[in-house]
């Protein structure tokens, strides 16, 4: 069965790419390149699904930018 997963990708202060799947607990990885990141996150998703016995994902709604003046 083919399943789709939303992946959030960020770049940290050292330039590493970080991928996270919000619908799976503790499902994230990092890599130096986008291609490497996509390969790794697919492996991590498979591993997370193996250990998730009660997979019941939250519906991913989206990401919203919020501006706030601080300081």
Long-range contacts of 54-58 (CB under 8 A, 24+ apart): 55/24, 57/23, 57/24, 58/22, 58/23
pTM > 0.75: yes or no? yes
Residue 3 has pLDDT above 90, yes or no: no
Q: What's the structural domain count of the chain?
A: 1
Distance CA 31, CA 26 (A): 16
pLDDT in tens, 29-52: 999 999 999 999 999 999 999 887
Domain limits at 4? 1-71
For residue 41, the domain's CATH number is 3.30.160.250
């Amino acid at each position: 069965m083919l399943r789709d997963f939303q992946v959030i990708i960020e770049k940290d202060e050292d330039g590493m790419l970080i991928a996270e799947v919000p619908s799976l607990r503790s499902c994230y990885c990092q890599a130096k390149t986008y291609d490497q990141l996509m390969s790794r996150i697919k492996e991590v998703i498979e591993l997370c699904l193996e250990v998730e016995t009660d997979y019941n994902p939250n519906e991913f709604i989206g990401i919203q930018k919020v501006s706030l003046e601080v300081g």
